[in-house]
Amino acid sequence: MNDKTEIWQGTLALMVLKTLEAMGPLHGYGIARRIEQTSGDLLSINYGTLYPALLKLEQEGYVSSEWGVSDNNRKAKYYKLTRAGRKQLAEETREWERTTAILARFFDTVEES
């Protein structure tokens, strides 16, 4: 039985942007592993989902990439947050906080009933 939770629709990009903001440039495996670690290993990142998300973020101008060498001396594509990515992260963070505050009202209302 797998106890790991799947990523909610629309949150992977936010987690990638936040990870790059906190950690600086990382390759795809590093991004995935950091997200998994940050979740306390409750999330499992599917690489078939991560790399298309990174490509989309790059096409939107929120991340840039360049080839480098990983810690184990392999060629790897490193991603970093762009200025537009920082702006997008701030906007998405505000929207996420607003959404969770709205949802919290529903849970508070249910508990009060």
pLDDT tens-digit map of 47-105: 899 999 999 999 999 999 999 998 889 999 999 999 999 999 999 999 999 999 999 99
Specify the pLDDT at position 10. 74
Q: Which amino acid is at 75?
A: K
Only one residue has tokens 């600086």, namely 24
Hey, what CATH class is 12-112 in?
Answer: mainly alpha
Q: Which of these, 63, 5, 6, lies nearest to 31 by C-alpha position?
A: 63
Q: Quote the pTM value.
A: 0.86
User: Would you give the DSSP letter of residue 44?
Assistant: -
Question: For residues 50 and 47, what is the distance between their CA atoms, to the nearest angstrom?
Answer: 5
Give the start-to-end residue ranges of the domains of the chain.
Answer: 12-112
